[in-house]
Amino acid sequence: MQLSARNQISARVTSIKSGEAIANVHLDANGVSLVASITVEAVQQLGLTEGTNVTAVIKASDVILAIGD
């Protein structure tokens, strides 16, 4: 699959915490921890389990930074 998005990060699923509709998929991207919130249905359709190799595609229109007072 080819995508135009340039923010693609290779990662491995370390755990999946499922709720009723949304699952938090915890990823290890070469020592950097990421969490993707996706539907439980998407987890099932993709066949995600611990250890699955994935590509995280990041799409963000805004990045907000803050510092302490």
Can you give the pLDDT at residue 35? 94
Of 14, 20, 7, the closest CA to residue 48 belongs to 14
Can you give the pLDDT at residue 7? 87
> What is the pTM (predicted TM-score) of this model?
0.85
What is the domain partition of the chain in residue ranges?
8-57
Per the CB < 8 A criterion, the answer to whether 9 and 56 are in contact is: yes
Can you give the pLDDT at residue 67? 94
What confidence tens digit (pLDDT) does each residue in 7-60 have? 899 999 999 999 999 999 999 999 999 999 999 999 999 999 999 999 999 887
- Distance spanning both ends of the chain, measured CA to CA: 45
Query: For the domain 8-57, what is the CATH code?
Result: 2.40.50.100
What are the CA-CA distances from residue 52 to residues 57, 58, 68 (Å)? 15, 18, 37
